[in-house]
Amino acid sequence: MPETVLLKGVRRYGEGEPVDVLAAEGVIAEIAQGITPPEGADVIDAEGHVLLPGFVDLHTHLREPGREDTETVATGSAAAALGGYTAVFAMANTDPVADTAVVVEHVRRAGEAAGLVDVHPVGAVTVGLKGEKLAELGTMAESAARVRMFSDDGLCVHDPLIMRRALEYSRALGAVIAQHAEEPRLTVGAQAHEGTQAARLGLAGWPASAEESIVARDCILAAHAAARLHICHVSASGTVDVLRWAKQRGTQVSAEVTPHHLLLTHDRLDTYDPVNKVNPPLRTGADAKTLREALAEGVVDCVATDHAPHAEQDKDCEWQAARPGMLGLQTALSIVAETMVRPGLLTWRDVARVMSERPAEIARLADQGRPIAEGEPATLTLVDPDARWTVRGAEFASIAANTPYEGMELPARVTATLLRGRVIARDGRIR
């Protein structure tokens, strides 16, 4: 049964006078002041809350198939909905790898069965993520999963010829290649940002140049192939310079930054607690500052979580034995509020751009990241900008609890998420 939902007293993009927004039959039916609730309507009193288009996450690890002990498409969908997301892209580094139509269709169907957010499988660029042979990109694109983003994320497509071919080939599919930029020869055994902290703590260095050099190479290859390139989780300030240069010369390149690279730095590594271990690694305060400015400027297009659930035994161990990655879906909005909105680098209007509109454009999702206007899909996220809350990993919808923000008090909270007119999350609960 289609729902009718009336949002009372919201401020679109955090701007202007409070209005009421009526969602019916999946679309925004009316925007006006003092709308009388239709019979049977679900009325959400959201006085002063900020209304944004539903968030789109280009970078999520849902761990299904293979590591359902840490996350499933269903639990990850719930975490996404609670975090204000209405569409997520599930990375291909599952077990088995999402390098065939069978696996991507499985993920797609699991997403539909979960019935919360739109789950878009990302296809692997190369067979088994081995970087040796192109996976059947065309078959995955034509499958029921309609794959439009390909990535070997977790690993870099390091062979320049394979990368060139992937970029060229993707053109015919209208797809984008999302690169995990890490020159593997420069990061053998790497454990932490190569700098003062790694030197002090005796951790093998992950130099910024291993990211910068691949981004530079791939921008040049993408320009040559006239193809679309997306750079995953930009972590180094030098990469921002490369992106600015490439964009100035017209390369079709986009880039994402994670919430953790906006907020956290390698200063957290003193305890050797692997909850802070992530790939690419946490870098310097200067890097984080540059990334925040680049996101404000638009050189970095959007925020993506790189949500990476891991089992306790894979995190509560020695640093070098631990797996890299951290949860992100349910904290992303608050970290963006903390690092970008509070210091005045972004307005809520800009947050709509970096968390919804630009990612939807990059992934070419026609019905996400839409304007908040009558007749548009009622795919919306409601944010209480004045809320403050304390992070508790055990309370998250994810099966895993590996959040680096445990115990941290953060600003702003998602109070409701709507996908095509249906309330999928409200006040911290799944609907």
Partner 1 sequence: MKHLLAAEGLDRDTVTDLLDTADELKHTLLGREVRKLPTLRGRTVITVFYENSTRTRVSFELAGKWMSADVINVSAGGSSVGKGESLRDTALTLTAAGADCVIIRHPASGAAHRLAHWLADTPAAVVNAGDGMHEHPTQALLDAATMREKLGSLDGRRIGIVGDVLHSRVARSNVHLLTCLGAEVAIVAPPTLLPSGIGTWPVTVSHEIDAELPSLDAVMMLRVQAERMHGGFFPSAREYAIGYGLSEARAALLPEHAVILHPGPMLRGMEIASRVADAPNALVTDQVANGVHVRMAVLYHLLASEGAESA
What whole-number distance in Å separates Cα of residue 225 and Cα of residue 152? 19
- Cβ of residue 328: shortest distance to partner 1, in angstroms? 24
Identified binder of partner 1 from the candidate list 70, 94, 126, 191, rule CB under 8 A: 191
What whole-number distance in Å separates Cα of residue 138 and Cα of residue 345? 40
What whole-number distance in Å separates Cα of residue 227 and Cα of residue 111? 29
CA 27, 33, 37, 38 torsion: positive or negative? negative
- Looking at the Cβ atoms of 286 and 317, the one nearer to partner 1 is 317
Which range, of 97-105, 232-240, 270-278, 420-428, touches partner 1 by CB under 8 A? Answer: 270-278
Q: What are 381's strand-pairing partners?
A: 52, 417
Q: What are 425's strand-pairing partners?
A: 417, 430
115 forms part of the interface with partner 1 (CB under 8 A) = no
201 forms part of the interface with partner 1 (CB under 8 A) = yes
Q: Within 13 Å, how many C-alpha atoms sit on residue 3's CB side?
A: 17
286 forms part of the interface with partner 1 (CB under 8 A) = no
Which range, of 30-38, 40-48, 191-199, 231-239, touches partner 1 by CB under 8 A? Answer: 191-199
- Looking at the Cβ atoms of 32 and 321, the one nearer to partner 1 is 321
Residue 136 class from Cβ within 10 Å (0-12 exposed, 13-18 middle, 19+ buried)? middle
Contact 229, 179 (CB under 8 A): yes
**In the numeric block, which tokens belong to residue 216?**
């530079």
- 353: Cα separation from own chain's centroid: 13
- Looking at the Cβ atoms of 151 and 235, the one nearer to partner 1 is 235
- Looking at the Cβ atoms of 369 and 404, the one nearer to partner 1 is 404
317 forms part of the interface with partner 1 (CB under 8 A) = yes
Contact 333, 414 (CB under 8 A): yes
204 forms part of the interface with partner 1 (CB under 8 A) = yes
203 forms part of the interface with partner 1 (CB under 8 A) = yes
319 forms part of the interface with partner 1 (CB under 8 A) = yes
Which range, of 143-151, 196-204, 378-386, 388-396, touches partner 1 by CB under 8 A? Answer: 196-204
- Looking at the Cβ atoms of 43 and 201, the one nearer to partner 1 is 201
272 forms part of the interface with partner 1 (CB under 8 A) = yes
Which range, of 45-53, 190-198, 334-342, 416-424, touches partner 1 by CB under 8 A? Answer: 190-198
CA distances from 404 to 101, 153, 268, 277, 326 (A): 35, 21, 10, 9, 7
Pick out residues in 95-114 that bind partner 1 (CB under 8 A). none
Q: What are 24's strand-pairing partners?
A: 4, 27
Sheet holding 149-150, edge to edge: 149-150, 176-179, 229-231, 253-257, 302-303
Identified binder of partner 1 from the candidate list 316, 374, 386, 427, rule CB under 8 A: 316
273 forms part of the interface with partner 1 (CB under 8 A) = yes
- 356: Cα separation from own chain's centroid: 10
- Cβ of residue 208: shortest distance to partner 1, in angstroms? 10
Q: What are 205's strand-pairing partners?
A: 192
What whole-number distance in Å separates Cα of residue 365 and Cα of residue 25? 20
- Cβ of residue 202: shortest distance to partner 1, in angstroms? 3
What whole-number distance in Å separates Cα of residue 42 and Cα of residue 21? 12
Total residues belonging to the chain: 431
* Catalytic choice (118, 306, 314, 384): 306
- Looking at the Cβ atoms of 40 and 407, the one nearer to partner 1 is 407
- Looking at the Cβ atoms of 196 and 390, the one nearer to partner 1 is 196
198 forms part of the interface with partner 1 (CB under 8 A) = yes
Which range, of 110-118, 120-128, 316-324, 418-426, touches partner 1 by CB under 8 A? Answer: 316-324
- Cβ of residue 269: shortest distance to partner 1, in angstroms? 9
- In degrees and rounded to multiples of 5, residue 75 shows phi and psi of -70, -35
197 forms part of the interface with partner 1 (CB under 8 A) = yes
- Cβ of residue 326: shortest distance to partner 1, in angstroms? 18
What whole-number distance in Å separates Cα of residue 302 and Cα of residue 282? 18
Q: Binding string to partner 1 for residues 205 to 234, with x set by CB under 8 A, is what?
A: x-x---------------------------
Residue 386 annotated in active site: no
Which residue has 């630009």 as its token pair? 358
Which range, of 128-136, 229-237, 310-318, 361-369, touches partner 1 by CB under 8 A? Answer: 310-318
- Cβ of residue 276: shortest distance to partner 1, in angstroms? 11
The 3-state DSSP class for residue 147 equals coil
Q: Which residues contact 261 (CB under 8 A, 6 or more apart)?
A: 233, 234, 235, 280, 282, 283, 287, 288, 291
- List, by residue number, the catalytic residues: 306
In the complex, which residues of this chain contact partner 1 (CB under 8 A)?
Answer: 191, 194-205, 207, 271-273, 313, 316-321
